[in-house]
Amino acid sequence: MIAKSTGAIGAHNAKVMNRLELTRRVVEKLKRDEAVIGGIGNANFDLWASSQRPQNFYMLGSMGLAVPIALGVAIAQPKRHVIALEGDGSLLMQLGCLTTVAQQAPKNLTIVVWDNGMYQITGGQPTTSATVADLVAIARACGIANAAWAADEADFDRLAAAALKGEGPSLIAARIDSKPGAEKIERDPVQIRERFMRGLGVKGGAASGA
Amino acid sequence: MTEQARANTWHDVVLATLKSNNVKLAVYVPDRVLTPLIKALHADPFFTTFATTREEEALGIVTGAWMGGVHGAVLMQTSGFATIPNALASLVVPCQIPALIFVSERGTLGEFNLGQAMVCKTMRPVLNSLAVENITITRQDELAFILDRSIKQAVATQAPVTFILSPLLTGGKVFSASMRA
């Protein structure tokens, strides 16, 4: 007999929260010019709506690569904390990157996963996290021991504050509702990249070390 | 004597040229032909070198590192190239990231694997249609010049570059008699 899944195995007690509100809770904790990488779609839109810090990078395409981009920034700037904001569908597209993060083990990297169990932006088709996949259990099995579901907003605050202390890598997963992203971002990849590099203290070609 | 002058294999030249251009990060999905280069990169503490699970993941990491001030290279085999057009078209090219992409060329000059051969046929048309600089390197006496100038051009013009390492340069993958049979 095959056991029937009751959905979101590890998260069944977690409260369903709102992405924009939680994004704001992340941003208000940032006091040291931490870098934030917003994943494609609604993760980006709510990051844009919550703040337009120069240390925010809004990934317009390349679904699944927010965590690898964040890992690259974390390796390049080990003294700066880096946060990736990623949706469940995007993370599921590039699960292998969790093992790379665990192997490299950057202390300055935090992954936040917004899990509403759907490909929201394409019409709400269910992701596998709606039924069978537990993203925190996956992260732990990939080697990110410091991975947890946020039970509610206060728990999310506690987990985020602990993650920012720099004993990562860590992953925080939050169950969220299906409310769309608050604002569409200005789609100008060069402007976004240029502003981000200046926000990180890296100016244009100076990064070549020339 | 400079490090480049001492270099006597193709992979010595690649390593020395990356180093002289301050390219400190090397991220790869493994390949038999690239193995001596990958081993040498791991052995040299100047470089941060590690494997990723997919080629597009490596491109994401190199993109983040560049924005954080560290220049990086991605190493892959030809079949792996087929996993990266989306990352090129929607991240690396529009964001103007001077990613250095090394592809060991399979699918030609004695290939037995149809999959490699098909990707080999599509690789250059994909790069050309994205207007991504791509240079096929066949001769070791041209290698240092091509790499050094092209890395500098990538940085100066904020554009990625692909180096396709031909079997004429690397020797390619040597197949056993049983594999040929």
What pLDDT, on a 0 to 100 scale, did the predictor assign at position B176? 62
Q: Chain B contact for A203, CB < 8 A? A: no
What pLDDT, on a 0 to 100 scale, did the predictor assign at position A205? 47
Tokens 């500098």 -> residue: B152
In terms of residue numbers, what domain contains A150? 21-200
Peptide bond between residue A169 and the one before it cis (omega within 30 degrees of 0): yes
What pLDDT, on a 0 to 100 scale, did the predictor assign at position B1? 46
* Domain-embedded: residue A16: no
Q: Residues B142-153: what's their mean pLDDT?
A: 98
Q: Chain A contact for B50, CB < 8 A? A: yes
What average pLDDT does the structure give for chain B? 93
Residue B132 confidence class, pLDDT cut points 50, 70, 90: very high
What pLDDT, on a 0 to 100 scale, did the predictor assign at position B178? 55
Q: Are A59 and A39 in contact (CB under 8 A)?
A: yes
**A-chain residues near B61 (CB < 8 A):** 68-69, 71-72, 75, 100
Whether B52 sits inside 8 A of A96 (CB atoms) is: yes
**3-class SS letters over chain A:** CCCCCCCCHHHCCCCCECHHHHHHHHHCCCCCCCEEEECCCHHHHHHHHHCCCCCEEECCCCCCCHHHHHHHHHHHCCCCCEEEEEEHHHHHHCCHHHHHHHHHCCCCEEEEEEECCEEHHHCCEECHHHCCCCHHHHHHHCCCCCEEECCCHHHHHHHHHHHCCCCCCEEEEEEECCCCCCCCCCCCHHHHHHHHHHHCCCCHHHHHCC
Q: Chain B contact for A35, CB < 8 A? A: yes
Tokens 């493994």 -> residue: B30
Q: Is B160 helix (H, G, I), strand (E, B) or coil?
A: coil
**B-chain residues near A60 (CB < 8 A):** 90-91, 94
Q: State how far the Cα of A35 lies from the Cα of A109, in Å rounded to an integer.
A: 10
Tell me which residue in A60, A97, A207 faces B53 most closely, judged by beta carbons: A97
**B-chain residues near A71 (CB < 8 A):** 60-61, 64
Structural domains of chain B, with CATH: 3-107+117-169 (3.40.50.970)
Crossing angle for the helix pair A66-76 and B55-67, nearest 10 degrees?
40
* Domain-embedded: residue A126: yes
Beta strands in chain B (DSSP E): 23-28, 48-51, 71-77, 100-104, 133-137, 161-165
C-alpha dist (Å) from residue A181 to A26, A89, A197: 16, 15, 25
What pLDDT, on a 0 to 100 scale, did the predictor assign at position B7? 62
What is the end-to-end Cα distance of chain A in Å, rounded?
A: 64
C-alpha dist (Å) from residue B176 to A135, B32, B48, B112: 43, 13, 33, 11
Name the token pair of A151: 């039970």
Q: Is B30 helix (H, G, I), strand (E, B) or coil?
A: coil
Q: Are A115 and A11 in contact (CB under 8 A)?
A: yes
CATH of the domain at A73: 3.40.50.970
Of B77, B74, B66, the closest CA to residue B100 belongs to B74
What pLDDT, on a 0 to 100 scale, did the predictor assign at position B6? 56
* Domain-embedded: residue A34: yes
What pLDDT, on a 0 to 100 scale, did the predictor assign at position A3? 39
Q: Chain B contact for A121, CB < 8 A? A: no
* Domain-embedded: residue A4: no
User: What residues of chain A score a pLDDT lower than 50?
Assistant: 1-7, 205-210
The percent of residues in chain B predicted with pLDDT above 70, rounded, is: 92
Tell me which residue in B53, B69, B89 faces A96 most closely, judged by beta carbons: B53
Whether A77 sits inside 8 A of B68 (CB atoms) is: yes
DSSP classification of residue B52 = -
Name the token pair of A107: 């202390």
Q: State how far the Cα of B14 lies from the Cα of A9, in Å rounded to an integer.
A: 49
Q: For B2-31, what is each residue's pLDDT tens digit?
A: 555 556 999 999 999 999 999 999 999 999
Q: Residues B101-115: what's their mean pLDDT?
A: 93
* Domain-embedded: residue A42: yes
Quote the ipTM score.
0.94
C-alpha dist (Å) from residue B180 to B21, B111, B112: 40, 9, 7
In the chain, the amino acid numbered A49 is A
* Domain-embedded: residue A207: no
Q: Chain B contact for A78, CB < 8 A? A: no
**B-chain residues near A106 (CB < 8 A):** none
* Domain-embedded: residue A151: yes
Burial code of A20-55, b = ≥16 C-beta within 10 A, e = fewer? bebbbbbbeebeeebbbbbbbbbbbbbbbbbeebeb
Number of domains in chain A: 1
pLDDT at B109 over 70: yes
* Domain-embedded: residue A209: no
What pLDDT, on a 0 to 100 scale, did the predictor assign at position B124? 98
